[in-house]
Amino acid sequence: MTKSRKPIVLSDLQLDVVRVLWQHGETATPEVVQALVASRGLAHTTVATLLTRLEKRGVVAARRDGRQLLYSAKVSESEVKRSMVAELVSSLFGGDSSALLAHLVREDELRPGDLAEVQALLKAERPATGGDRHG
């Protein structure tokens, strides 16, 4: 991350709300409620509270359009993933990302082909200058 900012760690429910904004762009509360009704069955007031709290944290932006507020995500999906994974690695694995990978392998959490995909990503992302790890 180029900017120094507080880690973005969201609950499953908060993630679901922000995912609606990522998928639909600028959205009013009733549309967020409608998008989540099948999976969550949340009340309008619950969603409104979640959006207000996410706005206060700087995760979403709100703008008034007549009588309603329109919300949009201020953070990207990749930024949230990066922040939450970094927090997970820090808190559970003492900052050692290789310990996370080792855990996934030991616990049989990987599907066939996942390791080959990771190796291909590492080859594509790493410069050919040697073994500098960034983590």
Across the chain, mean pLDDT equals 88
Domain identity same for 105 and 81:
yes
The reported pLDDT for the residue numbered 5 is 67
Judge whether 4 lies within some domain: no
Q: What is the pLDDT of residues 67-81, one digit of tens each?
A: 999 999 999 999 999
Length reported for the chain? 135
Return d(Cα 95, Cα 77) in angstroms, integer.
Answer: 22
Domain identity same for 51 and 26:
yes
Report whether 87 contacts 1 (CB < 8 A): no
pTM, to two decimals: 0.77
Q: What is the pLDDT of residues 75-100, one digit of tens each?
A: 999 999 999 999 999 999 999 988 98
56 lies in which domain range? 12-73
